[in-house]
Amino acid sequence: MMKEFALIFRLKDIADFRPTPEQMQERMNWLAGIASQNKLVDKGNTLLPFTGNAKTVKPNNEVTDGVYTEIKEFVSGYVVVKADTIDEAIVMANGNPIFDQVGGNIEVREVLKRD
């Protein structure tokens, strides 16, 4: 039985968050390739990192604007794929154009489904 894996996209620079139309098309083509193999579980979503769109909740009711500024990269979005092994999911992640476009990285995590 196939497992599900979340591919979590991290960018290094907030300036890279707004892709060009060409970059967006490359990303859509990558996603379509996974969908054509019937391995796309959830096309995911973009997580907006901007002040006003993002808050960080900390202990003692402390709330700050935006994403963590202490870290050098931020999560920009995710998709969920299905694969037999994590290695197969890594191959899918490796095909993403994000590496050639802006750098950053993709974290691959197995999803444990709650019933």
pLDDT in tens, 23-61: 999 999 999 999 999 999 999 998 888 778 888 888 999
10 Å CB burial of residue 74 (0-12, 13-18, 19+) is buried
Cβ neighbors of 115 (< 8 A, separation 6 or more) are none
More confident residue, 100 or 96: 96
The answer on pLDDT for 67 being more than 80 is no
- Strands 3-11 vs 105-111: parallel, antiparallel or unpaired: antiparallel
Prediction pTM value: 0.86
In this prediction, residue 99 has a pLDDT band, given cuts at 50, 70 and 90, of confident
Its sign, for the CA torsion 95, 96, 99, 100, is positive
Alpha-carbon Rg of the chain, whole angstroms? Answer: 15
The number of CA neighbours under 13 Å toward the Cβ of 112 is 0
Region 12-26: mean pLDDT is 84
